[in-house]
Structure 1
């Protein structure tokens, strides 16, 4: 999302809920996101623990995660265009 899109969303939230409700809404959103992240981590932990108890090889998970991180980094580098653009004539 660009700055103008974020600004527009914040403006609409300000108009709909008023300035006094924004901190309460932000707090609620933050709490909800934290609970979602905690639940996700707990599920991952339970799956990994269950796999270890059943002697399932989980070594491929770390290798796969490294590959995913590498691809994410390459995508970020490819889409992060900075500097000046020179026109060729």
Structure 2
């Protein structure tokens, strides 16, 4: 919406003067002023009513028990993700501190045989 500056307001007033005439212009100004005052009163009344209703419901909601988020279980999702990537679930359960003690010889080829090879045997 464009802003109204001084030149635009002056043009609007000149057009109103030409349309309504100098005798009707004061009456028109009074009626517009009265309408604006009534509009402001009604909007202020609605605002006060809304704020009052908001204040009435405010303490009732604050007395309720606070909602605590459910604990997130990241550990349970890790075996599924790593199994989908082809990492054995047993290897996924190794804690990083224990990983220093695990040697590559601990996993034998019989444990890592794919399903397709097992079916052929």
TM-score norm. by structure 2 comes to 0.44
- The size of the alignment, in residue pairs, is 57
Deviation above 6 Å: which 4+ runs of structure 1? none
State which of 39, 42, 47 in structure 2 corresponds to 1:44. 47
* Counterparts of 1:56 and 1:30, CA distance in 2: 40
- Establish whether residue 30 from structure 1 lines up as the match of residue 30 from structure 2: no
CA drift of 1:55 comes to 2.7
- Establish whether residue 5 from structure 1 lines up as the match of residue 8 from structure 2: yes
- Establish whether residue 20 from structure 1 lines up as the match of residue 6 from structure 2: no
Structure 1 residues 32 and 43, CA, compared in 2 at 3 Å: closer, same or farther?
same
Which structure's CA Rg is the greater one? 2
Structure 1 residues 20 and 37, CA, compared in 2 at 3 Å: closer, same or farther?
same
* Counterparts of 1:56 and 1:24, CA distance in 2: 50
Structure 1 residues 41 and 56, CA, compared in 2 at 3 Å: closer, same or farther?
farther
* Counterparts of 1:48 and 1:12, CA distance in 2: 42
Give 5+ residue unaligned stretches, structure 2: 61-121
TM-score norm. by structure 1 comes to 0.58
Structure 1 residues 10 and 51, CA, compared in 2 at 3 Å: closer, same or farther?
same
CA RMSD for the aligned pairs?
1.7
